Amino acid sequence: MHFSLNPQVAVVSLFLCAHLSAASANEISFDEAIKASAQIPKVKAAVIDLEARTQADRDLPSDRGRLTLTIGPGRRLSPTADTGNELMLSISQGWNLGDLSKKRRKAARAERQVISAERRVKVLAARMEAALRWFNLRLAEQAHQLVQAELTNIAELETTIIRARKAGVVTRVAEVEAKSAHADAKRLELTLEGERVAAALALCVALGVLPDINLRTAGPMPAPTIPSATEISRLEHKVEQLPQIALHRLRSVASSARAAEYKATNRSQLSLGVEFARESTGSTLLFGTMGWSFVGADKNQRQRSRANAQALRRLQEAEDVAVTLRIELAEAIHEVEHSEELWQLINSRVAPASASLLQERKRQLALGEGTLVEVLRARSRVTKAKRYLATAGVARRWSQVHLWLLLAEIKLAEAGDH
């Protein structure tokens, strides 16, 4: 994986690493990760883009055209009695008759709304990515901790079995089984350590900070309050409020507005002015002038046709995105229920059953009715059950957060708080 940071991003990264930790410089809570996601470069760039565009649009020109000044020096050649130098001076102001100023402001406003929607899309995507990467790291940490604890236990058990084997208390099969279990636990520990490092680096990328293989999650997993089934059903029908769909619809509006602006630039022009003339006879003349320029060929036809085509295409793209997001939201709703059921099953049945089996195998061994091999295999099942429970617990919380983030974005759009 390759990281490339410019000096400004590096400063931000160092600031976040120093400022966003609760327990140490290598820890970050879920809330801190979500807040940090709003400071990644692509989100800040969208904010800067919107601010710059807003400032620039304040100086949009009006419908007035250029102020034209014409100077015409000359000489009267006939009749002979009136020959002499003459001067003509005129000034005129032109106006576009297609209401260009209004259409230009409308197009500019639509384009600013597109930039604002792009910012919302980037903010939501950054939150989702940071949340997912935080959960992935938490899962990797839990899996690694579980296998480390099991590795310690297996190592101690292997030592005990080797001693018992030398004393002739257990069979060689038990010794080989213990060594195999120890080696497999070590292999799994190394694998999970690699996965933890990869998850830590992925979270660094999501937060826009410098790579840190020792980055850890801090604090409890979030437990957001999920709305009632009635409220979820209502919000599910408001999926068009999600910024990904709104972005394409606003792009369609902006394209239509640009087409109207292109059309207005090719409308007739009216000019009003004053003409001053000084004749060789000494007479002074003053005229009011009015000019009208008629439109010939449409010079912006290609730009206008492209803009109109883009407007139609954006609407179709919005429908495609809407289909995808409806499915994503439906899956998120289902996943909350499914992950809860799975976690309850493992927590109430699978984990207790494996623990009971291990206790029974130990009891049988103590009574001389079982073998160490059976105990080792029962311990393996307990370890797997613990990993299943950890995985299901993280998946359960992530599904809740995923749904909560989607529904919260819809509610924000409803309230007009973008």
* Cα–Cα nearest to 85, from 98, 76, 96, 93: 76
**Residue 284 placed within a domain:** no
Q: Is 22 within a domain?
A: yes
Alpha-carbon torsion angle 135, 141, 145, 148, nearest 10: 140
Half-sphere exposure of 358 (CA within 13 A, CB side): 16
Query: Is 383's pLDDT higher than 50?
Result: yes
* CATH number of domain containing 394: 1.20.1600.10
Q: What is the pLDDT of residue 33?
A: 95
Residue 191 has pLDDT above 90, yes or no: yes
CB 86 within 8 A of CB 280: yes
pLDDT tier, 398 (very low <50, low <70, confident <90, very high otherwise)? very high
Backbone angles phi, psi at 326, to 5 degrees: -60, -40
Residue 163 placed within a domain: no
Per the structure, the count of domains in the chain is 1
CA angle, 269 then 273 then 278, to 5°: 140
Q: Does residue 253 form part of some domain?
A: yes
Handedness of CA 105, 110, 115, 120 (dihedral sign): positive
Which tens digit of pLDDT belongs to each residue from 123-179?
999 999 999 999 999 999 999 999 998 888 888 888 888 888 888 877 788 888 888
Check whether 281 has a pLDDT greater than 80: no
Domain that holds residue 326: 7-61+99-142+184-266+311-415
Q: Is 12 helix (H, G, I), strand (E, B) or coil?
A: helix
4-8, 62-66, 254-258 — which is least confidently predicted?
A: 4-8
Q: What are the pLDDT digits (tens) for 209-231?
A: 999 999 999 999 999 999 999 99
365, part of any domain: yes
- C-alpha–C-alpha distance, residues 403 and 212, integer Å: 29
Instruction: List own/partner pairs for 304-310 with CB under 8 A and 24 or more apart.
Output: 304/259, 304/262, 304/263, 307/255, 307/256, 307/258, 307/259, 307/262, 308/255, 308/256, 308/259, 310/251, 310/252, 310/255
| Domain presence at residue 137 | yes
> What is the C-alpha separation between 333 and 322, in angstroms, rounded?
16
Give pLDDT, residue 417.
61
What is the residue-averaged pLDDT of the chain?
A: 84
Amino acid in the structure at residue 418: H
CA distance 354 to 89: 103
In a domain, 27, yes or no: yes
The verdict on residue 371 lying in a domain is yes
DSSP label at residue 348? I
pLDDT at res. 274: 87
